[in-house]
Structure 1
Amino acid sequence: MIGVNRLTSNSELQNLDLIDLLSERHILVRRISEKAWNDKSNIYISNSEWYIMARIYKKRPTISYVTKNVDISRQAIHKFIKNLSVKGLVKVQNVEYNKKEKCIELTALGNECYEQNAALKAQFEKKIAANISAEQVKVLKDILKLDWGL
């Protein structure tokens, strides 16, 4: 599964700077993760839709909150939310005391899909750890969690 649409060979990765390395690895793992889900499920969910679902999991944010906190255009977010709603993964409701605002939350099906995908990603992380070591995965996660001062 690791070789799914490999963007760059390992030898080509050696010449990339940090930003490009992060980008290449991000694209690769997202593509593999998306493929793993879509191979097992009859509900197609894009990476952008997963990104939105992750932001609303166990929450009921307003759509305007999501648009401010997700790095996708407002127009695209509305399209993704509509797609997620049509698939039965989210429900959009009016906000009490505010006629303009709408809030969004995962449906039972949306929660189930999100949790199943989290389990797939955990398996993927274990596979990575088997190749580079659990300690290296921990170090990488710790580094990514640090405040980079950017």
Structure 2
Amino acid sequence: MNSELKTLDLIDLISERHLQLRSIAEGEWNEESDIHISNSEWFIMARIYKKNPSVSQVTRRVDISRQAVHKFAKGLQAKGLVEITDSRHNKRDKCLMLTQLGKECYEKNLLLKKDLEMKIAEEIGLDTLNTLKRILVSNWGIREY
């Protein structure tokens, strides 16, 4: 391993690439759509796609407060992307579900991200991309918070 790689911090490298990719993905979405959707809103939509979770369930799966999840859900509802209903099991909790428009936007965004992934594969090679994906999903022996 060369000395330059040894001095680079893994966490910062992953974070910087993540921010770069999210920025590109958000920019491409905003170029093609009249509906602005922030990265945090995409994150919430990903947690409810093809599901009908409660706000509490979403909160447990993301690293933001219950109040923030509720605020994002209200914003998504105002855009016509999410439907908020009362929970059958807890009267104080609300359930979230993508509307048809929300599903269409989410699936269109998946295609945009797939295109970005293919551009990356063209640059670094498909084998390298697949190796990176295997590394990212593998067990790193670290605990979750």
TM-score (norm 2): 0.91
Pairing partner for 2:54 from 24, 47, 62: 62
* In 1: Cα distance, 2:6 partner to 2:113 partner: 26
1:20 alignment partner in structure 2: 12
Indicate the SS of the match to 2:51.
coil
Shift of residue 111, structure 1, vs aligned partner: 0.1
Letter in 1 for 2:90: N
Letter in 1 for 2:41: E
Distance change (3 Å), C-alpha of 1:15 and 1:102 = same
Shift of residue 98, structure 1, vs aligned partner: 2.7
Contact 1:13/1:21 (8 A) holds in 2: no
2:130 alignment partner in structure 1: 138
Identical positions, percent: 57
1:5 alignment partner in structure 2: none
After TM superposition, where is structure 1 displaced by more than 6 Å over at least 4 residues in a row? none
Letter in 2 for 1:132: I
Letter in 2 for 1:61: P
Distance change (3 Å), C-alpha of 1:36 and 1:51 = same
- 1:38-94 C-alpha deviation (Å, 9 max, x unpaired): 111000000000000001000000111111111112222111111000000000001
**Match runs of 1:48-87 below 5 Å:** 48-87=40-79
Unaligned stretches of 5+ residues in structure 1: 1-11
Distance change (3 Å), C-alpha of 1:103 and 1:121 = same
Letter in 2 for 1:95: S
* In 1: Cα distance, 2:77 partner to 2:140 partner: 36
Shift of residue 101, structure 1, vs aligned partner: 1.9
Indicate the SS of the match to 2:50.
coil
Distance change (3 Å), C-alpha of 1:60 and 1:29 = same
Alignment pair present for 1:112 and 2:110: no
Total equivalences in the alignment: 139
Letter in 2 for 1:28: Q
Contact 2:28/2:112 (8 A) holds in 1: yes
Unaligned stretches of 5+ residues in structure 2: none
**Match runs of 1:27-42 below 5 Å:** 27-42=19-34
* In 1: Cα distance, 2:52 partner to 2:126 partner: 34
Letter in 2 for 1:34: E
Contact 2:53/2:97 (8 A) holds in 1: yes
Contact 1:89/1:110 (8 A) holds in 2: yes
